[in-house]
Amino acid sequence: MRKLSMLLIGIFCMSGIIMAGDNKLTAVPLFQSCGIYFEAADTQTPCVTEFREKGSDKWNKAFELVPIPEKELGEYLGNRTTGKTIYTDKAMFRGCIVNLKENTEYELKINQGKNTFTANFKTWTSVLPVAKTINVKDLKFDNELLITEKGTKDGWIKYTSDKGFTLKGDDKKNAVITVKGGEYIIFENLKIEGGARHGISLEDAQNIRVLNCDISGYGRIGKQDVAKDGKYYVGGNSINNDAGVNISKSGNVVVERCYMHDPRGHANSWKYSHPAGPNAVAVHSTGGTVLRYNDFIGSDAHRWNDTVEGIGNGSPNGGFFRDAEIYGNIFIYSNDDGIELDGGQMNIRVFQNKFEGSLCGISTGPCLLGPSYLFRNLIVNLADEDGSGYSAFKNGHGLYDRGRCYVFNNTVYAFGGYGHYNGNKDGIAKYGKELRGITRNNIFYSSRELFNGSVFKRGNDFDYDLIYSKSSELLKSTEEKLKEKGWEAHGIFGKNPEFASIENGNFALSEKSPALKNGEPVDNFIGKYNAENPDRGAFQTGDNQPLPYRPIPVYLDKYQVNFKFDIGTDILSQALNANVKGVERFSGNFEVRKNNVFDWLTVEPSTGVFKENSNVQFKISINKDKIKKPGLYKGLFLIKLENGYSRPVTVYAKAEGKEEIKKKSEGFALYIEAEKSSVPHIFKVMEDKKASERKCVYLDSAIKGMSLSYDFAVPKDGDYQIFVRVKSEEPLGSHDSVFISLDEEKNRQAHLRSDIEWKWSGCGATTSLGTTAKPFNLKKGKHNIRLFPRETLSVDMLLITDDYKLVY
């Protein structure tokens, strides 16, 4: 047997490398995991990977490495390219080890046939040697702090400030703090406001830590151009990727325990076009990015585009690129993705996070190289600012991808579950049998789509998931498709997972859950507990940690608070209890923090102290004077310790009142009742007490070749939007589109933003899916629009207007 060994080359350069002929083994540790790159002459013989803590006698089996036998690792086959672009690299095995301890030495062993390759590595540490500390309050500051200096691995440079001091920038300088080429720098306990684009911008920087910082008030505002694409513009350019922390061609960056909130701008929603706007973090990494324990809190007033966005996401080295840990964060209130991993995605680990209030949860499209690992995340209540939600896992992109994504022990309670793939026919013909998605032990509780249809055209390995929907039609069709492919042999279908309390945001499993103790152990990711199989989903028996994971002994009896009231009436407050558990001694000062725009929400007490074996009761109240119109008000508050760790609590307040359906406008607004078609039809006219005149039309897709037809006239040449007030049956994804014809043009599809209750949706002067708000350019005079059934839904009325604010 040939045996080789190596030592780690520097903790902060991350990796250790051993060369042996045509073989090279590289270990790339972060805090709690380690990436493995084994360039091997032979990728046909499987590897067995083991690891152990240094000094231990017990070897632990790691999860299987992914063989990359071809030098052609990524081939771009998509509608964004003409021809082919090939990214090449050496053949190798890739993978990772997870669930490691911080600041700990480990031994790694790879057995391949008769050969053994070994390595030592050490995980990152939070305790760093500081050579110099600088108080930013004492610096001469001209709206931007520009840093080019370099510390060393043995002597970091630390920037901090006094409590209560705010470092304020204006809208003239790109960022409040800019690091250009700097290295070994710490920013800790800073409160930052302003910046024309960013709070902190890291440019060609290495080994940077941003710790316990409060960053807000950054970015451009602009003016929305509805006629163009609904994006916000400054000087003819759309606003995008203004970020609390901008990571640009920088590596070994840690963003930890930060609160990012209230950017000045706002991202448009998909009803106009692909969202563009601010981010909490924008990432174009050279490798080694860690985001942990952060609160990335958007709002309906200041929606994120993606909460965390990957820059250059159509490139193998775009976005996070390689070797990232993303854990213990909350991502909330974006109009597109909670996080965009898109790019090379080599050894990206996303775990123990909470995703809420975005169109999609985690985007992995494209995973050009892979693999990525998504495990033990909680993805709930997905919805953009308009209430539209899609997949927990979004896998599609304009480029065909070949990287694997592993999806283990996640809990999904959302409109959609496992989202679409790139459907390029050439890519599918050539690579379609390769594994793209591997799932184990997930809970998918979805109302509109469980597994997108495009998923069934490519290679996957799905099993041991619990799959549930209240829609029997959706459940049946999903189960049939999965079993036809030979997937989900051990899947559980049609059984409610029985969460502890959806209403209180507690998605742990109750004692009667069918997901208990019948999952499959996955090497190194999830094992047995007391000799019994793991549970399905993110929460495990014997582990009472809420998500997002935070290493603090403070626990709440609710992680979501719900109100429902009539506008103008007194609103009863609600109580929330916080307890310190599991420690003999603890004392920590806390402060309640919330976004500036959540002024309709009050939490008392706002400050206090947590102590061992103690209870603090909070009173949550709604300021009725701030609630001006019916609708769902979405907010969040943090119970935050001085060291930056927090417990986030989501608040949903449903304000009910008489909806003004036919709003008046200073511009042109013509309302047409759906039942008043200008031509005869045989569609059912239904009674509905919430319809405009208590009547609506049931546009039945079983009736072919017939339409509703409406004549109207506009007073002048210009841009006009055509809205329809609609509602649909579940699953919404199968009941949300019509064919339209304007002025006898050829019928085309119109995908609507419908819901189970009445909702206005634009028809959209575009065929793009989701972009419903594009106006039509109409000439003065008479026009006609016809609605043909494509999928069955109900129509209340139409609105033709040059004042889009009547609806939006």
In a domain, 58, yes or no: yes
27 with 95: CB under 8 angstroms? no
Q: Are residues 44 and 118 in the same domain?
A: yes
Ranked by mean pLDDT, the top range of 111-115, 341-345, 520-524 is 520-524
Average pLDDT over residues 160-173: 96
DSSP state, 54?
T
Q: Report yes or no on 364 lying in a domain.
A: no
- Residues 24-34 have pLDDT tens digits of 899 999 999 99
Range of lowest pLDDT (202-206, 416-420, 523-527, 593-597): 416-420
Q: Residue 91 carries which side chain, given as an amino acid letter?
A: A
Tell me the C-alpha distance between 410 and 392, whole Å: 10
Task: Encode pLDDT of 459-497 as tens digits.
Answer: 999 999 999 999 999 999 999 999 999 999 999 999 999
Q: Contact at 8 Å (CB) between 312 and 278?
A: no
Residues 766 and 679 in one domain: yes
pLDDT at position 486 is: 98
Residues 686 and 631 occupy one common structural domain: no
Domain final residue pick, 93, 122, 151: 122
Distance CA 523, CA 729 (A): 42
Mean pLDDT on 555-564: 98
Taken in order 427, 432, 435, 441, is the CA torsion positive or negative? Answer: positive
Strand segments (E) across 642-683: 646-656, 669-673
Q: What is the pLDDT of residue 689?
A: 94
Q: Provide the CATH number for the domain around residue 638.
A: 2.60.40.10
Percent of the chain with pLDDT over 70: 94
For residue 656, what are the CA distances in angstroms to 333, 568, 635? 22, 10, 17
Q: What is the pLDDT of residue 801?
A: 97
Q: What mean pLDDT do residues 604-614 have?
A: 96
Same domain, 680 and 791: yes
Cis peptide before 534 (omega within 30 of 0): no
Tokens coding 580: 């310190």
pLDDT digits over 73-125, tens only?
444 444 343 334 344 467 899 999 999 999 999 999 999 999 999 999 999 99
Answer yes or no: do 737 and 769 share one domain.
yes
Q: Which residue has the higher pLDDT, 77 or 305?
A: 305
pLDDT band of residue 765 (cuts 50, 70, 90) is low
> How crowded is residue 642: how many other Cβ atoms within 10 Å of its Cβ?
12
Report pLDDT for 135.
98
Overall residue count recorded for the chain in this entry: 808
pLDDT tens for 651-673 read 999 999 988 899 999 999 999 99
Q: Confidence class of residue 402 from pLDDT cuts 50, 70 and 90?
A: confident
Q: Quick check: is 512 in a domain? A: no
> What CA–CA distances, in Å, run from 695 to 673, 687, 692?
9, 5, 7
With H, G, I as helix, E, B as strand and everything else as coil, classify residue 657. Answer: coil
How sure is the predictor about 72, in pLDDT bands with cuts at 50, 70 and 90?
A: very low
User: Tell me: the pLDDT tens digits for 230-254?
Assistant: 999 999 999 999 999 999 999 999 9
Residue 313 lies in a domain: no
Q: What is the CATH number of the domain that holds 111?
A: 2.60.40.380
Q: Which of 625, 655, 685 corresponds to the end of one domain?
A: 655
Q: CA-based angle 330:593:591, to the nearest 5?
A: 115
Same domain flag for 687 and 797 = yes
Average of per-residue pLDDT across 185-196:
99
pLDDT class for 10, splitting at 50, 70, 90?
A: very low
CB 95 within 8 A of CB 62: yes
* Confidence at 641, pLDDT banded by 50, 70, 90: very high
The conformational region for residue 502 under phi > 0 = left, psi -120 to 50 = alpha, else beta, is alpha
Torsions phi, psi for 392 (to 5 deg): -65, -40
- Sign of torsion, CA 16 20 21 23? negative
* pLDDT given for residue 767 in this prediction: 54
Q: What number is the average pLDDT over the span 675-702? A: 96
Tell me: do 683 and 787 sit in the same domain.
yes
Distance from the Cα of residue 512 to its chain's centroid: 30
pLDDT > 90 in the chain, percent: 82
What is the rounded average pLDDT of the residues 576-583? 96
Residue 692 has pLDDT above 50, yes or no: yes
Same structural domain for residues 111 and 36?
A: yes
Of 373, 362, 312, the residue nearest 337 (C-alpha)? 362
Q: What is the pLDDT of residue 76?
A: 43
Residue 198, pLDDT above cutoff 60: yes
Of 749, 667, 681, the residue nearest 710 (C-alpha): 681
495-to-448, 470, 535, 804 alpha-carbon distances in Å: 17, 10, 15, 43
Q: Are residues 12 and 105 in the same domain?
A: yes
pLDDT over 70 at 366, yes or no: yes
Alpha-carbon distance of 254 to 281, in angstroms, equals 12
Cα dist from 446 to 20, 114, 676, whole Å: 50, 48, 36
Evaluate if residue 16 carries a pLDDT over 60. Answer: no
Any alpha helices (H) in 9-119, and if so which ranges?
none
Contact 795, 708 (CB under 8 A): yes
> Is 80 exceeded by the pLDDT of residue 51?
yes
Q: Which domain holds residue 629?
A: 557-655
Average pLDDT over residues 195-218: 99
**Residue 1, pLDDT score:** 36
| Residue 75 belongs to some domain of the structure | yes
What's residue 766's pLDDT?
A: 66
pLDDT at 71 over 70: no
Judged on CB neighbours under 10 Å (0-12, 13-18, 19+), 72 is middle
Specify the residue for token string 């003819």. Answer: 236
Task: Report yes or no on 495 lying in a domain.
Answer: no
Residue 285 maps to a domain: no
Specify whether 69 is located in the same domain as 27: yes
Reported as a single tens digit per residue, the pLDDT across 280-303 is 999 999 999 999 999 999 999 999
Which band of pLDDT confidence, cut at 50, 70 and 90, is reported for residue 555?
very high
Tens digit of each residue's pLDDT (9 = 90 or more) over 116-159: 999 999 999 999 999 999 999 999 999 999 999 999 999 999 99
The domain that holds 774 is classified in CATH as 2.60.120.260
Task: Pick 649 or 425 by higher pLDDT.
Answer: 649
Distance of CA 688 to the CA centre of its chain: 37
Q: Which of 426-435, 597-606, 695-704 has the lowest mean pLDDT?
A: 426-435
- Quick check: 199 pLDDT over 70? yes
pLDDT computed for residue 805 by the predictor: 87
Residue 389 within any structural domain of the chain: no
Q: How far apart are CA 566 and CA 624, in angstroms?
A: 10
pTM here? Answer: 0.94
> What integer pLDDT is reported at residue 78 of this predicted model?
40
Q: What is the total count of domains within the chain?
A: 3
694 and 789 in a common domain:
yes
Looking at per-residue pLDDT, the higher value among 76 and 392 belongs to 392
Average pLDDT of 619-639?
96
Residues 583 and 641 in one domain: yes
Contact 331, 307 (CB under 8 A): yes
The partner residues of 529 in beta bridges, in order of sequence, read 532
Last residue of a domain, one of 122, 142, 160: 122
Q: CA-to-CA distance for 736 and 750, rounded, in angstroms?
A: 9
Band of pLDDT at residue 6, cut at 50, 70 and 90: very low
